């Protein structure tokens, strides 16, 4: 099972983070681990500016030593080179100062040089904070996401509820955690079992724009799906219907051949026996509406052909 750490990059010392490798003397890091990279750079006031570079996975640890030079040409030696693959990485480092929770002294205390490959702080919850900053890349069109977030800001006065809804919209925070807990499979696709977080999306069953705020936060209105299943599900080309006492996959004829190549075929069970009766009923109600949309789309396609 992969572990999650953070690493600190000294931008003011080494220059911009390469986003493909990281050098360290820490013996904790190993292949398969996930790493949130925080960078620090010199600020005009003499302190440090901090930024989130992204979430990466270590796919190779090579033993050195490795000799590097800083921006002044001074040598530095490191025992390990970590080759890293991106999981969720923004187009440019995200300045932490833009977050409403930002406290420079707190960030310095938790993430400054010398503290590499420690677990993320949990009080406050920096994993949730970082995931919120990184969420949304490649998961929605920019226009849809911006419109929905603007609507939340405009219509939800309560700060706590507004923050929960923002995180739910981008498939992170409490909503993702509660959906994951509800299905009891850890961070794995509810349907396929794929357990790579970078491929998983917390999807709403009842579309966001059709849901009340209560429904938007209801974990029974969510599935943690691998991206290929999510795209089909989001477009109502994949759904679920009650068959033989369980919710089983239904694939629209239009998508069956392509879906089969991806390992998605009709009749795959979700496995809902562990859910409480009340939760199962809510899930079935949400899914009934979703499946009806698939049937409607199927009928529309039949008429058009």
The CATH number of whichever domain residue 81 belongs to comes to 3.10.590
Residue 231: CB partners within 8 Å, gap ≥ 6?
none
- Give the mean pLDDT of 3-7: 89
Choose the final residue of a domain: 82, 102, 126. 126
- For residue range 94-149, list pLDDT tens digits in order: 899 988 899 999 999 999 877 788 888 999 999 888 887 876 443 444 456 666 77
Q: What percent of the chain shows pLDDT beyond 70?
A: 91
Closest CA to 58 of 5, 113, 111, 128: 5
State residue 300's pLDDT score. 61
Same domain, 205 and 120: no
* pLDDT band per the 50, 70, 90 thresholds, residue 304: very low
Four-residue CA torsion sign, 115, 117, 121, 127: positive
Same domain, 167 and 29: no
Cα(304)–Cα(24) distance, integer angstroms: 60
Higher pLDDT, 251 or 198: 251
Choose the final residue of a domain: 69, 102, 126. 126
Residue with tokens 């890349």: 137
Judge residue 3's burial from the number of C-beta atoms within 10 Å of its C-beta, 0-12 exposed, 13-18 middle, 19 or more buried.
middle
Check pLDDT > 60 for residue 28.
Answer: yes
State residue 138's pLDDT score. 37
Which residue range forms the structural domain that includes residue 211?
A: 135-304
Choose the final residue of a domain: 80, 99, 126. 126
Asked whether 120 and 127 are in contact (CB, 8 A), the reply is yes
Same domain, 165 and 202: yes
Same domain, 121 and 149: no
Closest CA to 18 of 67, 56, 50: 56
Q: Mean pLDDT across the chain, nearest whole number? A: 85
Same domain, 36 and 121: yes
Same domain, 194 and 217: yes
Same domain, 140 and 80: no
State residue 301's pLDDT score. 57
- For residue range 201-211, list pLDDT tens digits in order: 888 999 888 88
Check pLDDT > 90 for residue 91.
Answer: no
Same domain, 120 and 139: no
Number of domains in the chain: 2
Higher pLDDT, 192 or 301: 192
* pLDDT band per the 50, 70, 90 thresholds, residue 281: very high
Same domain, 84 and 223: no
pTM for this entry: 0.56
């Amino acid at each position: 099972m992969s572990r999650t750490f953070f690493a600190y990059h000294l931008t003011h010392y080494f220059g911009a983070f390469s986003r493909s490798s990281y050098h360290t003397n820490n013996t904790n890091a190993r292949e398969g681990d996930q790493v949130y990279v925080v960078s620090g750079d010199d600020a005009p006031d003499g302190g440090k500016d901090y930024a989130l570079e992204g979430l990466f996975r270590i796919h190779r640890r090579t033993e050195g030593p490795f000799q590097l030079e800083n921006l002044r040409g001074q040598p530095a030696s490191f025992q390990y080179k970590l080759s890293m693959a991106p999981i969720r990485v923004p187009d440019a480092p995200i300045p932490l100062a833009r977050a409403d929770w930002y406290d420079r002294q707190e960030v310095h205390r938790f993430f400054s040089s010398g503290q590499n490959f420690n677990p993320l702080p949990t009080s406050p919850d920096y994993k949730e904070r970082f995931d919120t900053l990184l969420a949304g890349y490649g998961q929605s069109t920019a226009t849809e996401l911006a419109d929905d977030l603007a609507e939340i800001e405009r219509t939800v006065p309560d700060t706590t509820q507004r923050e929960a809804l923002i995180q739910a919209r981008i498939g992170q925070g409490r909503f993702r955690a509660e959906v994951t807990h509800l299905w009891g499979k850890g961070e794995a696709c509810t349907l396929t079992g794929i357990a790579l977080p970078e491929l998983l999306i917390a999807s709403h069953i009842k579309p966001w724009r059709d849901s009340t705020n209560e429904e938007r936060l209801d974990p029974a209105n969510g599935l943690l799906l691998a991206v290929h299943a999510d795209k089909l599900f989001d477009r109502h080309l994949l759904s679920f219907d009650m068959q033989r006492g369980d919710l089983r996959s239904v694939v629209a004829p239009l998508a069956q051949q392509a879906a089969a190549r991806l390992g998605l075929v009709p009749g795959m069970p979700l496995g809902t026996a562990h859910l409480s009766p009340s939760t199962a009923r809510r899930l079935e109600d949400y899914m009934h509406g979703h499946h009806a949309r698939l049937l409607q789309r199927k009928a529309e396609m039949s008429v058009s052909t």
